[in-house]
Amino acid sequence: MGGGSSRKLRLKVLTSCGKIPIEVNSTDNVGELSKELKRTQQSLNFQLYPEGYFFIFNQNVMEENRSFRWNHVAQVFLVRFYGGTDSISVYNIEDNRSAKTFNWILLGLLLSVISLFLKYQTFWLPLFVFLVLTGFKSWERAAAQNSASNGLVKDTKVIADFMTYEDQLCIKDFVTDEHEFGGDDPMDMGIYNYLLQFEEKNVEAHPTLYQKRFKNKKEVVTIGKIWQCKGELLSATGDPDEILKDICLSFAWFNLLRCRFSQYSLSDQAKRKLSIHVHKVLCSGNHRIFRVIELELAFLYDSFYTKYPTIFRKGFPIHKFVELLVSIAGCCIAAFSLRNYEPANQDLSGVTVFGYNADRVVTGSAICLIAVIEIGQFILILCSDWAKVMLICCYVQHSKLQRSNFFERVLRFICNRRLLKPWEQVLGQYSLLESFDYNPNALLYNSFTSAFMDIPRNGQKESARIKLPLEVKQAVSHFVQLSRAFHVTNGSSFLGHDLIWACKLESLVHVIMVWHIATSVCEMESSQSNQGMERDRDFIMAPASQQMEAKGDFNVAQASQRLEVGGNSGETEMDLEVPKPVQGKRRKVDPNYKRKEDKNFIVATSLSKYCAYLVAFCPRLLPYHAYSTEFIFDRVVCEAREYLEGCHSMTSRCQKIMALGPGENILRRGAELAKDLQNIKESTRWRILADFWAEMMLFVAISDDETAHAEYLAKGGEFVTHLWALLYHAGATKQDWTEMGV
């Protein structure tokens, strides 16, 4: 029994060693893993974490093991691995609420291992170091979980209270030396005093509302201080693209976004000022605004799923460097002690087939892995966006650092390093006409496997994801700027009376699916038309004899005679009549329209499939009931299977849809809308569709379910979440569904 128990313990140590790199690679990494891999990772960790405790052996069993004088070393490593890394604290928001359960289990595990030291004192020094570090990291994890679940309201009250009187302050209230900072130019970004860094000891309650206010504002770092700083690093020459400033701007906007999660509302004056601020950034280019929002959501992800808010709570974490040194010292002591280790002669299980002692191999691997993990975690912390903000704030607060070339070089080096991307910048795509006949594999997806994975429904097959097009960013940014002048509608702002009916349907899902079907039909028809134009162009540019042979209406002699006559009359080969297609009459095509190069075509088709993707896969991100969305989608799939049965190509499916008569269901309405759109000139048609989908994208993004957006950040993030955050800051509002004549 002793040998088998020892082998099981070695297996658990190796299993834990394999789990740690998964956590390290997940550090504030929203987009590096696909959603499927992310779900698999969460499932694995859910199973591995309880196992780490369950496999702590009963002490009576361990004492019977002859080689147990070394097993308590392996147990310490299990506790160390289980304590977690410096980055990941939870894998979903609900885990934050189970923090107490985690702490009780870990406390029991620590007490179990500590009790072993009373009996076995081999290698007590390095093991004691590891236990202390594990306890400290576990405390950090508990603090992070508490902050994400209960502490968020407390932490953001300072920010919410500050925003009530922020407009009454100027940059001079926050600086110690006015000569080091610029003036109060109303067109300068420096007039916006959004909070970046402050200390809790600098906060006091101010009657009569007992707001939390700062005792000494000069110790507070705001976004205005960053923009007004005259240090070389933040100047126009040191930061020409304002990368460093935008990192701080993202953090400031993140602090304001936290107020929404804490149910704190900003004053009307603060909202108006923030809206002006956002539109001023928009004027700098759509690339910059999305860069700021992307980083802001990375901070939001960290606040819910990592320990960074706790680690950087009081500024740059110098204690992490001390912790690294202690960890490396403990590993060195353990490695030195391992050299002198000799297994008991009775312990035959400690010898492998290659002649190496298994205890020494497993323990040495664990020691090396701990050292690598500690170094890797420190590098990730040092290069994290949180560290960049803290270092920039430190740079702004201390004039000596602004005159230090060494510090500026170090800070520039750190700020220019981005180890992990927070978002893949991709759009999920779904096409109803391509995927309605999809049936999940019964062997892979069934009642048994439903306990381990999500089962896709009929017709729920995602198309290939696409890189977020620049044209989409431009179109959406344009409508965000227009949102200052009018309420965002469901795409009906610029539609004529002949198309407006398709926006006055029963629900948002009806509108999305009807327009998606019509857009898909127009895309297919436009593709065929452009292919026909290319064939016609090739025919026209071909030699005359080949044209005649292809046409088949004249013989070569007649063609030659016509060419001779044409030559005398000044005609050329280009005057030859172009043959009509064999398939019959084709709709007139705009000869100057180039589908592949048209940005309106790119915007319309990509956003059409993305909105359909949200309906099919992310109903919680829509401002409509999630179950009702799923139910309507399932009914549309059933309609498509009924009407398009036997159609196996996109061409035949589109032709069958266009042959449908008017009706009340979504598929017939989509066909009716497609017919109305085909009566419009092609270039104009795609402009209408692009405008509709761009505005619809904003309408969809204005949602009240902030929890759903936070949860989808852990699954890789969605483009609609970026728009949701942007529109919140821009102060955009949407027209009520009942006000649109529905």
Does 118 share its domain with 152?
Answer: no
Q: Please state the rounded mean pLDDT for residues 464-480.
A: 91
Q: Please state the rounded mean pLDDT for residues 443-460.
A: 77
Pair of tokens at residue 76: 């310490």
- What's the per-residue H, E or C state across 607-648? HHHHHHHHHHHCHHHCCCCHHHHHHHHHHHHHHHHHHCCCCC
Identify the band that residue 175 occupies on the pLDDT scale cut at 50, 70 and 90: low
Does 724 share its domain with 665?
Answer: yes
* Contacts within 8 Å (CB) and 24+ apart, 237-241: 238/408, 238/412
The angle formed by the CA atoms of residues 17, 23 and 28, to the nearest 5 degrees, is 160
Q: pLDDT value at position 253?
A: 93
Pair of tokens at residue 532: 């026909």
Pair of tokens at residue 403: 């005159």
Identify the band that residue 43 occupies on the pLDDT scale cut at 50, 70 and 90: very low
Does 610 share its domain with 685?
Answer: yes
Question: Domain range spanning residue 551?
Answer: 538-570
How many whole angstroms separate alpha carbon 95 and alpha carbon 98?
A: 5
Q: What's the pTM value of the predicted model, to 2 decimals?
A: 0.77
Q: pLDDT value at position 669?
A: 92
Q: Which residue has the higher pLDDT, 325 or 57?
A: 325
Q: H-helix or E-strand containing 604?
A: helix 599-617
How many whole angstroms separate alpha carbon 607 and alpha carbon 516?
A: 9
Q: How many CA atoms lie within 13 A of 280 on its CB side?
A: 14
Query: Which range, 31-45, 402-416, 526-540, 548-562, has the best average confidence (pLDDT)?
Result: 402-416
Would you say 23 and 88 are in contact if contact means Cβ atoms under 8 Å apart?
yes
Q: Is the model's pLDDT at 493 over the cut of 70? A: yes
| CA separation, residue 262 to residues 258, 265, 701, 707 (Å) | 6, 9, 20, 11
How many whole angstroms separate alpha carbon 143 and alpha carbon 131?
A: 18
Q: pLDDT value at position 204?
A: 77
584 located within any domain = no
Does 165 share its domain with 140?
Answer: no
Q: Please state the rounded mean pLDDT for residues 428-442.
A: 87
Nearby residues of 298 by Cβ (< 8 Å), 6 or more positions away? 28, 30, 250, 385, 422, 423
Say which residue the tokens 């290069």 belong to.
383
542 located within any domain = yes
Strands of 430-510, DSSP E: 463-467
How many whole angstroms separate alpha carbon 553 and alpha carbon 19?
A: 74
Say which residue the tokens 């994290």 belong to.
384
Does 560 share its domain with 635?
Answer: no
How many domains is the chain built from? 4
Does 471 share its domain with 381?
Answer: no
Pair of tokens at residue 677: 């759109």
Say which residue the tokens 């979980």 belong to.
145
Does 269 share its domain with 282?
Answer: yes
The alpha carbon of residue 230 and the mean position of all alpha carbons in its chain are separated, in whole angstroms, by 34
Q: Is 442 exposed, middle or buried (0-12, 13-18, 19+ CB in 10 A)?
A: exposed
587 located within any domain = no
Query: Which range, 87-91, 169-173, 368-372, 449-453, has the best average confidence (pLDDT)?
Result: 368-372
Does 373 share its domain with 452?
Answer: no
Pair of tokens at residue 61: 């069993």
Identify the band that residue 97 occupies on the pLDDT scale cut at 50, 70 and 90: low
- What's the per-residue H, E or C state across 330-391? HHHHHHHHHHCCCCCCCCHHHECCCCCEHHHHHHHHHHHHHHHHHHHHHHHHHCCHHHHHHH
Does 258 share its domain with 373?
Answer: no
Q: Is the model's pLDDT at 570 over the cut of 60? A: no
Q: Which residue has the higher pLDDT, 437 or 110?
A: 437
How many whole angstroms separate alpha carbon 128 and alpha carbon 122?
A: 11
Q: Which residue has the higher pLDDT, 609 or 55?
A: 609
Which of 76, 80, 78, 98 is closest to 89 using CA atoms? 98
229 located within any domain = yes
Give pLDDT tens digits for 548-566: 444 444 443 443 343 333 4
Q: Which residue has the higher pLDDT, 721 or 56?
A: 721
Does 503 share its domain with 556?
Answer: no
Does 435 share its domain with 369?
Answer: no
Say which residue the tokens 């009806």 belong to.
510
Q: Please state the rounded mean pLDDT for residues 534-548.
A: 46
Q: pLDDT value at position 102?
A: 60
For the chain, how are helix, strand and coil distributed in percent, rounded to 5? Answer: 65, 5, 30
Lowest mean pLDDT among 201-210, 256-265, 388-397: 201-210
Where a domain ends, among 311, 336, 367?
311
241 located within any domain = yes
Q: Please state the rounded mean pLDDT for residues 504-524.
A: 92
Provide the phi-psi class of 576: left if phi over 0, else alpha when psi is between -120 and 50, else beta: beta
Q: Please state the rounded mean pLDDT for residues 198-207.
A: 77
Would you say 731 and 274 are in contact if contact means Cβ atoms under 8 Å apart?
yes
Q: Which residue has the higher pLDDT, 281 or 144?
A: 281
How many whole angstroms separate alpha carbon 636 and alpha carbon 459?
A: 10
**What values do phi and psi take at 288, rounded to 5?**
-70, -45
485 located within any domain = yes
Where a domain ends, among 293, 311, 329?
311
Strand partners, 306: 88
| CA separation, residue 93 to residues 97, 142, 144, 145, 710 (Å) | 8, 14, 12, 9, 8
End-to-end Cα spacing for the chain: 74
| CA separation, residue 502 to residues 334, 499, 676 (Å) | 72, 6, 10
Query: Which range, 29-33, 114-118, 648-652, has the best average confidence (pLDDT)?
Result: 648-652
Give pLDDT tens digits for 210-240: 878 777 777 888 888 888 888 888 888 888 8
Pair of tokens at residue 447: 């009642």
526 located within any domain = yes
Dihedral sign (CA 607, 662, 631, 639):
negative
Identify the band that residue 54 occupies on the pLDDT scale cut at 50, 70 and 90: very low
Q: pLDDT value at position 304?
A: 84
Does 278 share its domain with 222?
Answer: yes
Q: Is the model's pLDDT at 517 over the cut of 90? A: yes
How many whole angstroms separate alpha carbon 249 and alpha carbon 256?
A: 11
Q: pLDDT value at position 629?
A: 93
Q: Is 377 exposed, middle or buried (0-12, 13-18, 19+ CB in 10 A)?
A: buried
DSSP 195-259: EEE--GGGEEEETTTTEEEES-GGG-EEHHHHHHB--GGGSTTTSTT-HHHHHHHHHHHHHHHHH
Nearby residues of 533 by Cβ (< 8 Å), 6 or more positions away? 589, 591
Q: pLDDT value at position 105?
A: 60
Q: Is the model's pLDDT at 535 over the cut of 70? A: no
Q: pLDDT value at position 176?
A: 53
Compute how many other C-beta atoms are within 10 angstroms of the C-beta atom of residue 103.
16
579 located within any domain = no
How many whole angstroms separate alpha carbon 90 and alpha carbon 105?
A: 16
**What values do phi and psi take at 438, rounded to 5?**
-75, 135
Q: Is 49 exposed, middle or buried (0-12, 13-18, 19+ CB in 10 A)?
A: middle
Give pLDDT tens digits for 663-686: 888 999 999 999 999 888 888 899
Lowest mean pLDDT among 468-472, 596-600, 602-606, 734-738: 734-738
Where a domain ends, among 331, 358, 389?
389
Q: Is the model's pLDDT at 50 over the cut of 50? A: no
Percent of the chain whose pLDDT exceeds 70: 63
Query: Which range, 1-5, 152-156, 215-219, 258-262, has the best average confidence (pLDDT)?
Result: 258-262
